[in-house]
Amino acid sequence: DVPAKIIDGKATAKDVRDEIAAEISRMKDAIGIVPGLAVILVGDRKDSATYVRNKKKACESVGIDSYEVNLPESATEEEVLKFISDFNDDPAVHGILVQLPLPCHMNEQNILNAVSIDKDVDGFHPLNIGRLAMRGREPLFVSCTPKGCIELLHRYNVEIKGKRAVVIGRSNIVGTPAALLLQREDATVSTVHSRTKNPEEITRQADIIIAAVGKPNMVRGSWIKPGAVIIDVGINPVEDADSPRGYRLVGDVCFDEASKVASAITPVPGGVGPMTIAMLLSNTLASAKRAHNFK
């Protein structure tokens, strides 16, 4: 058995960030403009605060200006909508991101709908998702995690056209857009979800598997066709007494088994995670270039 090639998301994300930084300095030199990203965080969830901090750091590392709004858990939907509306009108802001999940007294749909589709760098606006699903239409933005998955396949020269792909999971933010993207790239796509019977019979036919479920080690070696390429989106904490934090992160795919069968696989951590943030930066740059008609 030849062990699978590791698809190194950390190194690839670094390459992407370097390209973005170079492009931003070219734009700054030419027209004196740098991209701006506004991040709205409501409440004090620790994980959300960590994500926001990492996004801010990533912005700094490539030269994107970031604007952060922190609202208390008790904030009203109207207050959030007011910030969104101000950022929609602010020419220094090219991307607006509302960190999810929102407190349950807010209507997530209303809030995501309020983000201008020209600044929807998360790609969560229904118009952007709708355009992604339509033949002959182009979304202004594609959500960052699925985009990062496809970028990894491209950069590792994995052929998608004509291949059989299986996406496990159908969430609005990962599974569904991942399946739509693969279909746009001419793969034949099946989606597996919680009501699918005998999912392993379907995954065993796949040349490419994208797993976005949230179930540690669900995809076993026996679910995988020899030589398949595996993109593991899952981030699952599992107890680990040997780790200083008492837990470690594993994917939705059993890495030890899968890496003996697959031809290439992403690790967790260090696979899709870093690519997600890199794609956010890339979307923000693309938005600024579009707004200023900079080629």
Is 192 a binding residue for ligand NDP by CB under 6 A? The answer is yes
Tell the burial category of 21 from Cβ atoms under 10 Å away from its Cβ (0-12, 13-18, 19+). Answer: middle
Provide, rounded to whole angstroms, the least separation between the CB of residue 220 and ligand NDP. 12
Cα separation of 113 and 126, whole Å?
A: 7
Q: Is residue 260 annotated as a catalytic residue, yes or no? A: no
Cα separation of 225 and 204, whole Å?
A: 5
Q: What is the DSSP string of 68-114?
A: EEEE-TT--HHHHHHHHHHHHH-TT--EEEEPSSPPTTS-HHHHHHH
Is 236 a binding residue for ligand NDP by CB under 6 A? The answer is yes
Cα separation of 166 and 208, whole Å?
A: 6
Site string for ligand NDP, 108-137 (x = CB under 6 A): ------------------------------
Of positions 45, 155, 215, 248, contacts ligand NDP by CB under 6 A: 215
Q: What are the structure tokens assigned to 241, written together?
A: 């007494």
Is 146 a binding residue for ligand NDP by CB under 6 A? The answer is no
Of positions 35, 123, 234, 267, contacts ligand NDP by CB under 6 A: 234
Out of 122, 207, 232, 252, pick the active-site residue: 122
Classified as helix, coil or strand, 5 is strand
Is 216 a binding residue for ligand NDP by CB under 6 A? The answer is no
Is 264 a binding residue for ligand NDP by CB under 6 A? The answer is no
Q: Is residue 118 annotated as a catalytic residue, yes or no? A: no
* Span from 69-77, 83-91, 170-178, 283-291 in contact with ligand NDP (CB under 6 A): 170-178
Q: What are the structure tokens assigned to 95, written together?
A: 């991307």
| Nearest of 149, 173, 33 to residue 92 by alpha carbon | 33
Of positions 61, 171, 217, 263, contacts ligand NDP by CB under 6 A: 171
Q: What is the DSSP string of 200-225?
A: HHHHTT-SEEEE-S--TT-B-GGGS-
Residue (93 or 132) nearer to ligand NDP, CB: 132
Q: Is residue 186 annotated as a catalytic residue, yes or no? A: no
Residue numbers annotated as active site: 55, 99, 122
> Would you tell me which residues interact with ligand NDP (CB under 6 A)?
145, 168-171, 173-175, 192-196, 199, 212-215, 233-236, 272-273, 276
